[in-house]
Structure 1
């Protein structure tokens, strides 16, 4: 499941590349409001890329924890993380009680 989620992120990276491209500032070709919309869309695409990169790192870390038998155990209290929680997000590192604070 983790590898599948990583593959999804890779696919989304390919789709997000166009949105991050440089915005043309030629006022003859694009009006001021259209350019502002394009800049906003570019900023949102870059923010999505940052979120995908963070998720990728978290999932890769989960794969490493599987190799060291630390996967599925809370990093704070040492208790087992609920299977349903891991199924929803395999990158979690804390049980629900510790995550709630």
Structure 2
């Protein structure tokens, strides 16, 4: 089970920011996972341009957000609100960030 499965670990808008000030301006990479594929190696080496690799998720399934291998949130894909047509994620669940846990 992950911290996201326990509602007591969810962060709310009223949760105070406990990040030390020295780290607040440091960028960090967040990976958004939309699904997984498990092709056979023999099929993988045959992939070419325009090939379609089926995933284990549907178009409307939630996506998962990771920092490293740690699941930090889940959400729904949507179009960015800045009008650029880029993808964005609307968060539906957020794990509490704890030291060492």
Q: Which has the higher contact order (CA 8 A, sep 6+)?
A: 2
**Whose strand fraction is larger, Structure 1's or Structure 2's?**
2
Normalising by structure 2, what TM-score?
A: 0.21
Quick check: which has more Rg, 1 or 2?
A: 1
